[in-house]
Amino acid sequence: MASPLPFIVTVLAIVTPSLAAVTVNTSAIIQTLSIDFYKRKCPSVEKIVSDVIKKNALTNKGSIPGIIRLHFHDCFITGCDGSILLTPERYNLYNTEMAHPANGISLRGMEVINQIKTEVEKHCPNVVSCADILAYAARDAIVSVGNPHYVIPAGRRDGVAIDGNFAGGLPKSISNIERLTEQYAEKGLTVEDLVVLEGSHSIGQSRCQGTIAEVNSTLEVPAVDNFLDKSYKAMVENQSCAPKDSGVFWRLTTPLNPEKKVNEAWGVSFYENISKGKGVLPSDLAMAVHGTTKDMVKQYASNAELWKKKFNEAMIKLGKMNVLTGEQGEIRRHCGIINSVNIPVKQ
């Protein structure tokens, strides 16, 4: 872990009777990445990434939300170290984050990261990490759907450890705001980051599992069931959940935005809709109900510029989570495989 000093501060994020003091582990946000990291070593890297993302934004739209989520899942579990990209097929073992049920077949966009890596290696072999490629790709994916361009620092190294079990620590759509706030705080993220980043759910797809169509949300998210717009729920159920024995039940068939199935609805209409009980994930609806988050939801619903600015800032922070730097880790030759593992690559 790239933690200079385990520096733990206790802050009162937002003080309410229901949300006690949370411990924020600021050492999880590493400040040693730099904006001009590849300036001499690989000056074309950002152009290469952005060209590939622009092409995929037109022809492979599903990869755009896929890549944003990949970067989040990479960073949230063992830091932004490219560990999410390690492929179970290539190891012939299943103890990878990618294979964990929390990710499983729901991940997408990996082929785009591999395309980028192949292109980058032609220009500057062995200098750009997969973790950095994923961070740049997620930034460009976010820009492709409508956020202003923002600069991210680089210098992340790729992890060499494999342990899929950690993926059990990913946030769950049936968790309540207390639980999610706690999980974010452990990583150095605030309740505001939680609300701001959730706007990503204005695009993309879900498995039926864990959505309002499937989950009895009253179990974990009190008040959400009453708040839920019943006709919206009927629409989600009707459109999105194949019968459990149909073979596609476990696939990513539920649009997070059932009214517009592609990437056009990116942004604050998500907050407006969840304020009206129209949301696909119980955890999203919970933000519009809970005392510590509902005012933020209202604020973003009516202020797209503010949300975009905050979103970009939160992504920059997310991208610094527990990164490996300097001599730590390695620069992977192939994003799906740790260098020391000697398995032929299927291209």
Ligand X SMILES: *[C@@H]1O[C@H](CO)[C@@H](O)[C@H](O)[C@H]1NC(C)=O
Backbone angles phi, psi at 172, to 5 degrees: -110, 145
- Segment contacting ligand X (CB under 6 A): 19-27, 57-65, 69-77, 299-307? 19-27
Q: Under the criterion CB under 6 A, does residue 253 sit at the interface with ligand X? A: no
Closest distance of CB 315 from ligand X, Å: 18
**For the chain, what is the HEC assignment?**
CCCCCCCEEEECCCCECCECCEEEEHHHECCCCECCCCCCCCCCHHHHHHHHHHHHHHHCCCHHHHHHHHHHHHHHCCCCCCHHHCCHHHHCCCCCCCCCCCCHHHCCCHHHHHHHHHHHHHHCCCCCCHHHHHHHHHHHHHHHHCCCCCCCCECCEECCCCCHHHHHHCCCCCCCHHHHHHHHHHCCCCHHHHHHHHHHHHCCEECCCCCCCCCCHHHCCCCHHHHCCHHHHHHHHHHHCCCCCCCCCCCCCEECCCCCCCCCCCCCHHHHHHHCCCCCCHHHHHHHHCCCCHHHHHHHHCCHHHHHHHHHHHHHHHCCECCECCCCCECCCECCECCCCCCCCCC
Q: Which of 129, 283, 293, 312 binds ligand HEM (CB under 6 A)?
A: 283
Q: Under the criterion CB under 6 A, does residue 106 sit at the interface with ligand HEM? A: yes
290 is catalytic: no
- Segment contacting ligand HEM (CB under 6 A): 83-91, 161-169, 196-204, 262-270? 196-204
Q: Under the criterion CB under 6 A, does residue 319 sit at the interface with ligand HEM? A: no
Residue nearest to ligand HEM (CB): 204
- Segment contacting ligand HEM (CB under 6 A): 14-22, 30-38, 66-74, 91-99? 66-74
Residue 106 binding result from ligand X, ligand HEM, none, given CB thresholds of 5 to 8 Å by partner type: ligand HEM
Closest distance of CB 162 from ligand X, Å: 18
Contact mark string toward ligand X, 316..345, x via CB under 6 A: ------x-----------------------
Q: Under the criterion CB under 6 A, does residue 3 sit at the interface with ligand X? A: yes
Instruction: From the candidates 71, 73, 100, 334, give the one annotated as an active-site residue.
Output: 73
- Segment contacting ligand X (CB under 6 A): 21-29, 122-130, 140-148, 306-314? 21-29
Q: Under the criterion CB under 6 A, does residue 181 sit at the interface with ligand X? A: no
Contact mark string toward ligand HEM, 204..243, x via CB under 6 A: xxxx--x---------------------------------
Closest distance of CB 146 from ligand X, Å: 12
Active-site positions?
73
